[in-house]
Amino acid sequence: MAAPAGNMRSLDRAFDVLTVLQSAKQPLRLSELARLADLHVATVQRILGVLMERGFAARSADGYTAGPAALAVAHAFMVTNPLSVLAQPILQQLAANTGFTASIYVRVEHSRVLIARVESDHPLSYVLPVGERLPLHLGGAGKTILAEMSGSEIDDAMAGVGEIAHADGSVLTKADFRGQLEQIHQDGYAFSISERLFGIASVTAPVHAQDGALAAVLGVTGPAESFGEGTRTKVVAEVRRAAAILGARVPTSR
């Protein structure tokens, strides 16, 4: 029997609140949480009561945060998700072969989430936490995801994006950005430099499952000065090879 529409709306709103909590960088006041979730304060307060009872939200003097149960769900994903498990040895080999930090991302709505990472022998000073949610329009991994989408899907994903400004101060027009996506799709990989973080470069490639659909994006990250022409060519080959190996082991993207 299908669940009543009202119950599904309540569940959807609860996930709206959870999404805001998981994206927050600091505790949120009730009014701010309601604004970000686009819900009435009273509705958010009721939802928070249930989430706190189940451990998915917590409250302190500074406001509301995600609760410890969210960490347990993340752990369950890490140890049971086939893609995450299959990727680990491939990322280890990729990091060893290139000397760069190897990572894998999946698309979640209009963003990308880091689900696994293996540090190189020379880790970056800035470490991106596993589980971090990032935009699609900045960085090679996000653009590789966008390059696999249809024109209407790209329009939808970019609807809330204004100026495309990079960390190095450069600004892209929407037309230039779409041109980059077409080139990435044509080349089968992306190279980005100083887009989200100044002085950081990456090479990324799509991971296509056996059914042909995009399952993830795999890549390496390191200091921009380490990606000279010769090095970049070798790294692109390693990244694409690793992506193909992983894709051959993933039966479906669903």
| Domain 5-67, CATH | 1.10.10.10
Residue 192, strand partner residues: 202
Residue of higher predicted confidence among 193 and 6: 193
Q: Calculate ∠ Cα 218-138-170, nearest 5°.
A: 135
Give me the percent of the chain exceeding a pLDDT of 90: 68
Q: For 141-164, write each residue's pLDDT tens digit.
A: 999 999 999 999 999 999 888 889
- Neighbour tally for 63: CB within 10 Å: 16
Closest Cα partner for 99 from 124, 127, 116? 124
CA atoms within 13 A on the CB side of 253: 15
Please state the pTM of the whole predicted model: 0.82
| Contact assessment for residue 126 and residue 132, using Cβ atoms and an 8 Å cutoff | no
Q: What separation in angstroms does the CA of 214 have from each of 51, 106, 141?
A: 33, 9, 12
Residue with tokens 């936490």: 129
Q: Calculate ∠ Cα 194-136-197, nearest 5°.
A: 20
3-state secondary structure of 101: strand
Q: What is the mean pLDDT of residues 44-55?
A: 94
* Buried/exposed 123-150: b ≥16 CB within 10 Å, e otherwise: ebeeebebeeebbbbbbbbbbbbbbbbe
Q: Which of 1-5, 72-76, 178-182, 227-231 has the lowest mean pLDDT?
A: 1-5
Helices (H), 99-200: 140-147, 151-157, 174-187
Q: Any idea which fold 81-249 has?
A: Beta-Lactamase (3.30.450)
Q: Give the pLDDT band of residue 251 (cuts 50, 70, 90).
A: confident
Is 81-249 the same fold as 5-67?
no
The domains of the chain are located at 5-67, 81-249
Q: What is the pLDDT of residue 57?
A: 94
